[in-house]
Amino acid sequence: MFNKETSGRNSSQETETIIGPSVKVEGDFVGDGNVTVEGCVSGTLKTKQDLQVNEGATIKANIEAQNVVVAGNIKGNLKVSEKIELKSSAKVNGDIVTKIISIEGGAVFNGKCLSGEEASQPRGDRGNIKSNKTPLA
Amino acid sequence: MYFYLYDTFLKERKYAGSLTKIENRLIDLGINGKIEKMNILKSAKEVLENAIKDGAQTIVAVGNDKTFIDTLKIVSTHKNIALGFIPLVSGNIAKILGLPLKEAACDILSARIIAKIDLGKVNSHYFFGAVEIPAANSLTIECDHKYTVESTSPKVKISIRNLGPIFSQADLKNSDISNPSDGYLELVFESGKAGPIFKKRWSMPSVFPIKKATIKSPGEPVAVKIDNQTTLKTPLNVSVAAKTLKIIVGKERMF
């Protein structure tokens, strides 16, 4: 999915972040490009693009991303605008809001999940359906 | 108006022939200008500042990689001055900028393809390649005032790259060069991996695109090398100076 060349630049010149296995990040990480995590992150993690959480990664943070692939550990809530995939080694403790979810056999997920087109809309738009029925007298 | 700064070592006889060919080629191309031959009694800073005051809009360093960097440090403090380079000795900078050696570089100068590139800034020093911290195991880097990064490995090399480790690495590949015009620096952590003692092994590096960083060490200050030339000690503030420098480059450049 992501180019593992060491420069951190993929072919389309987006800014790519790689958090390697022996690095610890604390605080509010906000990025514009793809993010790959193999180490530890605590706090919040937001990106406009895609997030890949590899096996061995530990994230204690709330996450926002466009697409997420999880093979590691996450403790926190996830807000994914498009698709989240939980691989067989994934362990997620937290709530997920996404358009599409895919869970492989063996993945551990403890939390609530809201999925589908409606789930990814802002809360105010959900349930605002006009009724043609007249109220009961 | 062009101004040519010749490094001190070019006084040696072996360079006389090359310099004559270069000067003739510059005349043929119509880009000849004032030439200043440096010696130990002259200050490059004074010479260049006088040249800029007199109206020079393009400063050309003639010599080697060190000549280029020393000239860059002075030119970078002036806006709208273009920096050119005629390398007489092969080095990483000529390769990165896509410049051939000696008189062939004059044609590149004449073509005048200008790239606006970022520079890194450490306290009040500008850097072109990278800031490197070889013994970095106890350091914490605070990035963009939002998050901190530290290594959990006992053996780690940290660098903050603008263009890349161009002075500490001999054989550069395209993947070693970062984009110097994107408005970001790259914070790179390279951690040691367990293995045979005689073989250097590094695990996958961590890369963070940043605009600002503060390098702090909890105990004794740690030495930090800037472009493999200047040494400063922590704590240090690093930031990107976006599109600060105009450089004349060749089509074969590595970025």
Look at residue A7 in the predicted model and tell me its pLDDT.
42
B8 or A15: which leads in pLDDT: B8
Look at residue B202 in the predicted model and tell me its pLDDT.
56
The one-character DSSP state at B20 is H
The residue length of chain A stands at 137
**Touching check for B49 and chain A: CB below 8 Å?**
no
B189 SS3 class: strand
Look at residue B166 in the predicted model and tell me its pLDDT.
79
Name the nearest CA neighbour of B159 among B193, B207, B217, B192. Answer: B207
What residues of A are in contact with residue B175 (Cβ under 8 Å)?
A: 5-7
8 Å CB contact of B152 and A22: yes
Look at residue B192 in the predicted model and tell me its pLDDT.
67
| Cβ A89 vs Cβ A104: under 8 Å | no
Smallest Cα distance from A68 to chain B, Å: 19
- DSSP assignment of B87-104, as one string? ESS--HHHHHHT--STTH
Residues 6+ apart with CB under 8 A from B50: none
Q: Quote the CA–CA distance of B213 and B115 in Å, as a whole number.
A: 25
Give the model confidence (pLDDT) of A92-123 as tens digits.
999 999 999 999 999 999 999 999 987 666 55
Q: Quote the CA–CA distance of B10 and B12 in Å, as a whole number.
A: 5
Structure tokens at A64: 């926002």
The residue in chain B having the minimum alpha-carbon distance to the alpha carbon of residue A43 is B147
User: Which of residues 179 through 238 in chain B touch A, CB cutoff 8 A?
Assistant: 179, 182, 184, 186, 188-189, 191, 203-209
Smallest Cα distance from A30 to chain B, Å: 8
Helix (H) or strand (E) holding A43: strand A40-47
Smallest Cα distance from A1 to chain B, Å: 16
Residue A82 vs residues A59, A66, B196: alpha-carbon distances, Å: 20, 5, 45
8 Å CB contact of A18 and B207: yes
| Cβ B23 vs Cβ B2: under 8 Å | no
8 Å CB contact of B207 and A6: yes
The residue in chain A having the minimum alpha-carbon distance to the alpha carbon of residue B151 is A23
Name the nearest CA neighbour of B188 among B198, B199, B168, A135. Answer: B168
Best of A5, A7, A46 to mutate (most B CBs within 10 Å, chain B): A7
| Cβ A108 vs Cβ A91: under 8 Å | yes
**Touching check for B158 and chain A: CB below 8 Å?**
no
| Cβ B209 vs Cβ B104: under 8 Å | no
Look at residue B218 in the predicted model and tell me its pLDDT.
82
Look at residue A122 in the predicted model and tell me its pLDDT.
57
Name the nearest CA neighbour of B162 among B133, B185, B144, B188. Answer: B185
Look at residue A123 in the predicted model and tell me its pLDDT.
53
The one-character DSSP state at A9 is B
Look at residue B201 in the predicted model and tell me its pLDDT.
54
User: Which of residues 58 through 117 in chain B touch A, CB cutoff 8 A?
Assistant: none
**Residue pLDDT tens, chain B, 255 long:** 899 999 999 999 999 999 999 999 999 999 999 999 998 888 888 999 999 999 999 999 999 999 999 999 899 888 889 999 999 998 889 999 999 999 999 999 999 999 999 999 999 888 999 999 877 667 889 999 999 999 888 888 899 999 888 777 666 677 778 888 889 999 999 876 555 554 455 567 899 999 999 998 888 888 899 988 888 988 899 999 988 899 999 998 888
Nearest by CB to A23, from B146, B179, B189: name it.
B189
**Cis amide leading into B235 (omega within 30):** yes
Helix (H) or strand (E) holding B52: helix B44-53
8 Å CB contact of A33 and B209: yes
Residue A2 pLDDT class (50, 70, 90 cuts): very low
Nearest by CB to B204, from A7, A16, A20: name it.
A20
Look at residue B40 in the predicted model and tell me its pLDDT.
82
The residue in chain A having the minimum alpha-carbon distance to the alpha carbon of residue B208 is A17
CB pairs under 8 A between A and B: 83
Look at residue B157 in the predicted model and tell me its pLDDT.
87
User: Which of residues 133 through 152 in chain B touch A, CB cutoff 8 A?
Assistant: 146-152
Structure tokens at B109: 């100068």
Average of per-residue pLDDT across A64-93: 97
Side-chain half-sphere CA neighbours of B57 within 13 A: 5
Smallest Cα distance from B204 to chain A, Å: 6
Give the model confidence (pLDDT) of B40-68 as tens digits.
888 888 999 999 999 999 999 999 999 99
What residues of A are in contact with residue B153 (Cβ under 8 Å)?
A: 22
Look at residue B108 in the predicted model and tell me its pLDDT.
94
Nearest by CB to B153, from A7, A16, A22: name it.
A22
Look at residue B165 in the predicted model and tell me its pLDDT.
83
Q: To the nearest whole number, what is the mean pLDDT of chain A?
A: 83
Given a cut of 80, whether residue A134 has pLDDT beyond it is: no
Look at residue A117 in the predicted model and tell me its pLDDT.
81
Look at residue B21 in the predicted model and tell me its pLDDT.
95
